[in-house]
A = this chain, B = another copy of it.
Amino acid sequence: MKVVNYKDVLPVVMDNEMVKNVAGRLMIGKEDHAKNFCMRVFEIGKDGYTPKHTHEWEHEVFVHTGTGEVFIESEWYPLSKGSAVFVPANIEHQFRNISDEIFTFVCLIPSGAPEL
Question: A residues engaging B (CB < 8 A)?
Answer: 1-7, 27-28, 32-37, 39, 41, 58, 60, 62, 64, 70, 72-73, 77, 79-80, 82-88, 91, 106, 108, 110
CB distance from A97 to the nearest CB of B (A): 16
CB distance from A34 to the nearest CB of B (A): 6
- Find out whether the CB atom of A3 lies under 8 angstroms from the CB atom of B108: no
Complex CA–CA separation, A83 to B9 (angstroms): 11
Chain A, interface SS category: strand
New contact pairs (8) apart from A3-B70, A32-B86, A39-B62, CB-CB < 8 Å: A1-B86, A5-B80, A6-B82, A6-B84, A36-B58, A39-B108, A106-B106, A108-B108
- In the complex this chain forms, how many copies of it are found? 2
Q: Specify which chain B residues have a CB less than 8 angstroms from the CB of A87 in the assembled complex.
A: 1
Partner of A36, one of B33, B37, B64, B80: B37
Complex CA–CA separation, A32 to B86 (angstroms): 8
